[in-house]
Structure 1
């Protein structure tokens, strides 16, 4: 028997007075967090929630996210985390598809009215029986007059609960993929999937009980933040400093004034931190405390990795994973000089191979193939989608859709997403490779390369570029510069300067939006 909620319960038993969750002036100890999660579990049990039922949770990085998440796990229920940026129709779809019987939804703001969108979705979803609105502060009145307040609902519930004993293969969480093609699919991750991945992460990072302090800027509704920081952190009684929404200046302030040992982010977050390092910032203090820097979610440009090491004194560990793999698959090796651009080697308990479309393994050195994964981290399958599951899983192996190569020492290098591959005049062009070159230009701050339709070549290569402040770089200047450094068949013929790049709530660049707006 195994339940992911034991991660919190064990730390509450051994380190009851240590801060678990911190948000601005709110400090919640492990003992308090566990008691609050018990109140949530008692509320759900009172409302008829049983082992295997689905509980949807749409909430930003506030303490209530973790408390509700672990409270649902204690009952044996399945947590369905939802992106706070989803709209009414999208939320209604996720509630119906996941078969959620309970919906905890953040009140939102004027700019992002999550609560209103969630309530409207709930009212049109007959299968979801209970709705609780979560306010930004526990003592705030609910802005939705017809909705039940989460704080009021748990106020009189007991602070003790005997957690349900679940099997390792029971589903703990359903994570919805981004849905770049068709409707989003829910990846079912088990208690064993997530727990083993969290333990493997701590093993990799050399984490010790009750020592680490995390800045949690990654959204906890996303698999990266949930496993690498929430679950792995809770299992080691780490203190999690929550950030509602990533702002590089706010994060720099935390790094400068708190004893932060651990920061994880997507590449655009690291890029933002570097740009926020003004002369007034006590960089030495940050560097003294920062033990681990982690990047994932997308390929990290070498220019950013090198600048972080130079200015903050920490070598970023770059990892790779997906929602379907809990998420961590490979990681750089701490204490070793990993090859530039590598995503490392498979983590403990995980196997990786490169395959072609027919599942045949590619064995030649540096040959490009699709990453396939096998191990404790691979999902059970897609919720209620056996055909979609069969398309990507065979004999315990899961094919990721990501293209990579492997060197003779066993290190893997992401080439690109198979769907991002550009085919120009019959030649394969990998955007990731071009982005690495372009971002090395001294006047380029950020870049995304996409393929756009072309009458004779099929696709043409286009670069969307954010210039450095006060840059006078022109489109033709950059194209000429690229032509000198990149093969003739793949350098970008089209360059468009932009003030910013569209991103997801998790900080990934939305290339499909760039493709859609490209002429």
Structure 2
């Protein structure tokens, strides 16, 4: 297949910029950037990279929160034909060095950050430990003063000030031609087992997943949506569904660097947000912030679509959001390795609570056993989800053995356990690695969490397995209490659970905590619980 610039994912931006240059593309703080602004700024980044010797296929890393620089640099890297390697902004220097070396990144853009989150300093320290990475660009907010460490590097020219570097670059650029199979993005998995692995996502993977918006939730370029972007853009959910999906159809992205429920609600009202996507804990946070000062009627009137993904949406959160906001949350499913969306609630139909919906167009799903054989097709059969289609990654970067374990005959095994009903709707049972085996019985934490959330004292719940000499594992529930339930004890919850579950299932151990540890994307970090 001949290389073609029109196959480059960056055309999601440039094509929309050509159609409506004056439309608002990004709103951040008190500033608005038009499509023409963003496209021109991305062209300057592309020209900068070419001037530094970056060639098509080279890897360029990016550490940035949800600020316009992320989108501008992301598309500038793609325009140059290079591969974007977005990094989690919480990485420490050692971890930055690992990711830069593992991806073989030749250049690195790092946002300066703040005293509380020194992204730039961590990035610089990681970069300086990586021989293969040659160029370090420090991205600073306007009028900010670099720290002493970074200022010294800038003064010596070892680090380059991003604003100065792009200032003299041309605002036009001829987008590099690519092949559908060329790698557009390398997304690193969370690394819950072993070192993080880089999922190689082709241009066609990223492009086709972003263009699935009309099928998934009725996106219409003639009536563009306004998206609240609070999901981290370095993660696949925010990157594809919000950033790329919005720009592909001429939408407006309202950026919020860090999720705070009150701030999110204020932005939704001020900017008339029509599409919100978040992980379940974000919806839990929004519900907790809906006080008398929030104009819920206007919020609901504007909000056309509410999307949940990243982890299973508790039924109680689904029910409460519909009751209090009047908007039904549509649940989707996917992984970094699937660009990410693989399944979604059927748009226009009442969703089945607890279901991740059906495979999106162009994607197939099935349930398999450990040996890759198909699970019998009946509603009670539990199997691991396998996925095949336009969204499945090329493989793990430079890890052929790991790729062979994960992909067979085009099918990617997800590690998620599910059931499928007679109508083809999938229901997540649990992560296979989260499954608890107590006394030889399989116990799925998701099932217990759903029921425990119905206890009046439970606001947020995580169920884990803890070592036990007699049963191998014992079941423990870690619970954040609702307000005004101080009288409820751990023993009360154990007794209540005993009435709800079979003898081998109910949690014998309960612990109340003020908060649960979470990833930067809002997923509960069960591995930090004990």
**TM bracket (short chain):** over 0.9
After TM superposition, give the deviation of residue 256 of structure 1 in Å: 2.1
Alignment coverage as a number of residue pairs = 514
CA deviation map 1:334-356 (0-9, x unaligned) = 22122221110000100000000
**Residue of structure 1 in register with 2:74 after alignment:** 69
For the residue of structure 2 that corresponds to 1:461, the secondary structure is strand
Name segments (4+ residues, structure 1) moved above 6 Å: none
Match of 1:363 among 370, 376, 381: 376
Offset, 1:333? 1.1
Mapped to 2, the partners of 1:177 and 1:136 lie a distance apart of 29
Counterpart for residue 452 of structure 1:
466
Output the CA distance in 2 between the equivalents of 1:121 and 1:24.
30
Does 1:7 find its partner at 2:22? no
- Whole-angstrom CA distance in 2 between matches of 1:413 and 1:114: 38
Is 2:146 aligned against 1:142?
yes
- Check conservation: 1:76, 1:165, Cα contact below 8 A: yes
Does the CA-based 8 Å contact 2:215-2:360 persist in structure 1?
no
Structure 1 segment 109-508 matched on structure 2, within 5 A: 109-137=114-142, 139-143=143-147, 144-145=150-151, 146=153, 147-209=159-221, 211-365=224-378, 366-472=380-486, 473-508=488-523
Contact 2:368 2:385 in 1 (8 A): yes
Matches of 1:201 and 1:508, distance apart in 2: 24
Quote how far apart the aligned CAs of 1:113 are.
1.2
Deviations 1:147-190 (A, max 9, x none): 21111110111100000011111000000000000000000000
SS at match of 1:344: strand
- 2:52 is the counterpart of 1:29: no
Aligned-partner Cα distance in 1 for 2:291–2:146? 40
CA contact (8 A) 1:133 1:142 kept: no
Task: State how far apart, in whole Å, the 1-side matches of 2:97 and 2:17 are.
Answer: 36
Q: Deviations along 1:69-109, whole A, 9 cap, x unmatched?
A: 00000010000000000000000000000000000001121
Q: For 2:209 and 2:507, how far apart are their aligned partners in 1?
A: 39
Q: Deviations for 1:234-276, whole angstroms, at most 9, x for unmatched residues?
A: 0011100000111001001112222110000000000000000
Asked whether the equivalents of residues 342 and 412 of structure 1 are also in contact (C-alpha less than 8 Å), the reply is yes
Q: Distance in 2 between matches of 1:361 and 1:52?
A: 37
User: TM-score w.r.t. structure 1 length?
Assistant: 0.98
Equivalent in the alignment of 2:22? 17
SS at match of 2:500: coil
Using the alignment, how far apart are the partners of 2:250 and 2:266 within structure 1?
23
Shift of 1:363: 2.1
